[in-house]
Structure 1
Amino acid sequence: MKSLVLEKKDVLSLRDFPAIDRAEQALGPRDVRIKLHTVGICGSDVHYYTHGRIGPFVVNEPMILGHEASGTVIETGADVTTLAVGDRVCMEPGVPDPNSRATRLGMYNVDPNVRFWATPPVHGILRPTCVHPEAFTFKLPDNVSFAEAAMVEPLAVGVHAATKARVKPGDIGVVMGAGPIGLVTALAALAAGCARVYVTDLAEKKLEIAAALSPAITPVDVSREDLVARVKADTDGWGADVVWEATGSPKAAAGVFEPLAPGGCVVMIGGQPDPISYDAGAAMVREARVENIFRYAHVFPRCVAMLSSGTVDVKPLITRTFDFDDSVKAFEIAASAPPADVKMQIELPQ
């Protein structure tokens, strides 16, 4: 079974991977076997490719990449009741220990034993088929395409971030970063009730994409314009109700409280490789609430429903699609960070 394998840092190959074939021959009673259709290239996949690690997660042996996926059910376990052969689905890539304390408290995303696709030592799904639990596999409405469904995973991050912020109708939001996660967060913030969302970046093309998503999104090129001055001018000096940090940049993160209104909320999304400075005084005088998110929990069905209803449109974020045979080339291009691209996807042969 040919898979996209990260052999080691900076080395990718498209080859048979017998170990995964053997590991997924058996189908549990509550599992489904899925033929993969579309897989998105995530920043974490690219980071493993270019750096060989993310924090404590180190690629010590060959690993299959990919975790944003959609496909078709081709086999069901004996006790599966909600899915059938032929169903089009998307899959939540993190499977927790059902008996862990975190899972029992409803915070399964922070279960230390969660098995998450393409996070060492767990293999990803840039391969023809996979076996996955029914409980983390979601049937797609007819009007949601495979490409849109493969965007549910990143959209889930944005929806989780909007949920943690406790957005109220009419709130003013700021999203720092116009990458895939920043843009889905902006869309989720509007869906949650924000009246306006300012999206910042340094890349003009990404800001153009952001502006085209909704008339309620205001792009801010922070290389040319002062974000704080713009937000304060538009809010009579009050500031934004919520600031989402989605850049992963220590410099951006250091200024998260500056555009924030008194009593506002900061949500930290972007992963930081090292400890960052935290302006406790700026947070204190605002009585700011600070939230942190790690992936997501309980939001995949919500995301599917929003795509189906048209509440959120992720199609403009899909800027390039590659054939599976061109997967290595796709990652090389993604690693170069083209300024006009947001989300690249790979289609597997059907």
Structure 2
Amino acid sequence: MKSLVLERKDELLLRDFPDIDRQEQVLGPRDVRIKLHTVGICGSDVHYYTHGRIGPFVVQEPMILGHEASGTVIELGAQVTTLRVGDRVCMEPGIPDPNSKAARLGMYNIDPAVRFWATPPIHGILRPTCVHPEAFTYRLPDNVSFAEAAMVEPLAVGVHAATKARIRPGDIGLVLGAGPIGLVTALSALAGGCARVYVTDLAPKKLEIAESLSPAITGVNVACDDIVARIKADTDGWGADVVFEATGSPRAAAGVFEPLAPGGCVVMIGGQPDPISYDAGAAMVREARVENIFRYAHVFPRCVAMLASGAIDVKPLITRTFAFDDSVHAFEVAASAPPADVKMQIELPQ
């Protein structure tokens, strides 16, 4: 089975990977076998490629990349009842231990034993087929494309963040960072009830894309515009009700309370490579609520439903598509961080 394999830091190969063939030869009674169609390139995939690690997760042996995926069911386990061969699906990439305390409490995303695609030592799905539990595989409506379905995974992060923020209709939101996660968070905040969402970045093209998503999104280039002054001016000095930190920048995170309204909420999304500090006094005088998210839980069906209804449109975020045979080149391009690109995807042969 030809797969995109991260051999070690800075080395990718498209090659046969017999180990995964042996691991997935037998289909469990509640599993399905899926022929992969579209796989998104995530920032975490690129980070493993360029750095060989993310925090405590270290690539110590060859690993298949990829975790944002859609495909078609081609085989069913003996006890599968909700899916059929031929169903178009997307897949939630984290599989928890159903007996863990976290899973039993409904917080399966923070189960220490979760097995998450393309997180060492678990292989990802930039390969022709995979085996996945029925419970974490979701049928697609006819009007949701494979490309849109491969966006459900990053969209789930934004929807989880908006859910944790407890947005109220008419809130003013601020998203720091116009990368893929920042933009899906802006869309999720609008879907959750925000009247207006400001999105910041340093790349004019990304801000153009942000503003093209909705007339209720305002892009702010922080290289030439003071976001705190802008928010204060537009809210009669009150501030944003919700601030989402989606840059992963220690500098951005350190000032996250400055544009926040009294009684507002900060949601920390961006992954920080090192410990950060922020102004606890600024949080205290606002009586700010701080939420942290780790991936997502219980939101994949909501994401699929919003794509199907048109409540959220992720198509403008898909800015480049590569053939599977060009996967190594695709990662080289993604690692160069082109300012005009948001989400790159890879299509597998059908």
TM-score (norm 1): 1.00
The reply on whether 1:188 has 2:152 as its aligned counterpart is no
Q: How many Å separate the matches in 2 of 1:142 and 1:277?
A: 47
Tell me the equivalent position of 1:176: 176
Tell me the equivalent position of 1:35: 35
Tell me the equivalent position of 1:67: 67
Letter in 2 for 1:191: A
| CA-based RMSD | 0.2
Task: Report 1:5-20 matches (<5 A).
Answer: 5-20=5-20
Tell me the equivalent position of 2:157: 157
Unaligned runs of 5+ in 2: none
Q: How many Å separate the matches in 1 of 2:326 and 2:26?
A: 30
Q: How many Å separate the matches in 1 of 2:27 and 2:18?
A: 17
Provide the secondary structure at the position in 2 that maps to 1:301.
Answer: helix
Tell me the equivalent position of 1:78: 78
Shift of 1:146: 0.1
TM-score (norm 2): 1.00
Q: How many Å separate the matches in 1 of 2:336 and 2:37?
A: 25
Provide the secondary structure at the position in 2 that maps to 1:38.
Answer: strand
- CA deviation map 1:164-206 (0-9, x unaligned): 0000000000000000000000000000000000000000100
Tell me the equivalent position of 2:115: 115
Provide the secondary structure at the position in 2 that maps to 1:298.
Answer: coil
Task: Report 1:1-350 matches (<5 A).
Answer: 1-350=1-350
Shift of 1:300: 0.1
Letter in 2 for 1:84: R
Letter in 2 for 1:342: V
Q: How many Å separate the matches in 2 of 1:242 and 1:26?
A: 47
Q: How many Å separate the matches in 2 of 1:169 and 1:104?
A: 32
Q: How many Å separate the matches in 1 of 2:287 and 2:173?
A: 17
Letter in 2 for 1:175: V
Provide the secondary structure at the position in 2 that maps to 1:79.
Answer: coil
Shift of 1:246: 0.1
Shift of 1:278: 1.5
Shift of 1:115: 0.1
Shift of 1:277: 1.2
Q: How many Å separate the matches in 1 of 2:229 and 2:45?
A: 36
Q: How many Å separate the matches in 2 of 1:215 and 1:23?
A: 49
Runs of 4+ in 1 over 2 A off after TM superposition: none
Q: How many Å separate the matches in 2 of 1:248 and 1:222?
A: 15
Q: How many Å separate the matches in 2 of 1:13 and 1:244?
A: 36
Q: How many Å separate the matches in 1 of 2:106 and 2:96?
A: 11
Provide the secondary structure at the position in 2 that maps to 1:156.
Answer: helix
Provide the secondary structure at the position in 2 that maps to 1:160.
Answer: helix
Q: How many Å separate the matches in 2 of 1:298 and 1:46?
A: 26
Q: How many Å separate the matches in 2 of 1:211 and 1:326?
A: 31
Letter in 1 for 2:192: A
Q: How many Å separate the matches in 2 of 1:235 and 1:59?
A: 47
Q: How many Å separate the matches in 2 of 1:253 and 1:342?
A: 22
Provide the secondary structure at the position in 1 that maps to 2:302.
Answer: helix
- CA deviation map 1:285-326 (0-9, x unaligned): 000000000000000000000000000000000000000000
Q: How many Å separate the matches in 2 of 1:244 and 1:11?
A: 34
Unaligned runs of 5+ in 1: none
- CA deviation map 1:53-98 (0-9, x unaligned): 0000000000000000000000000100000000000000000000
Provide the secondary structure at the position in 2 that maps to 1:322.
Answer: strand
Provide the secondary structure at the position in 1 that maps to 2:208.
Answer: helix
Letter in 2 for 1:4: L
Q: How many Å separate the matches in 2 of 1:204 and 1:309?
A: 30
Q: How many Å separate the matches in 2 of 1:285 and 1:218?
A: 28
Q: How many Å separate the matches in 1 of 2:206 and 2:93?
A: 27
Letter in 1 for 2:293: I
Letter in 1 for 2:277: S
Q: How many Å separate the matches in 1 of 2:274 and 2:11?
A: 25
Letter in 2 for 1:172: I
Q: How many Å separate the matches in 2 of 1:32 and 1:297?
A: 21
- CA deviation map 1:254-305 (0-9, x unaligned): 0100000000000000000001111100000000000000000000000000
Q: How many Å separate the matches in 1 of 2:153 and 2:164?
A: 17
Shift of 1:209: 0.2
- CA deviation map 1:105-140 (0-9, x unaligned): 000000000000000000000000000000000000
Q: How many Å separate the matches in 2 of 1:333 and 1:34?
A: 28
Letter in 2 for 1:328: V
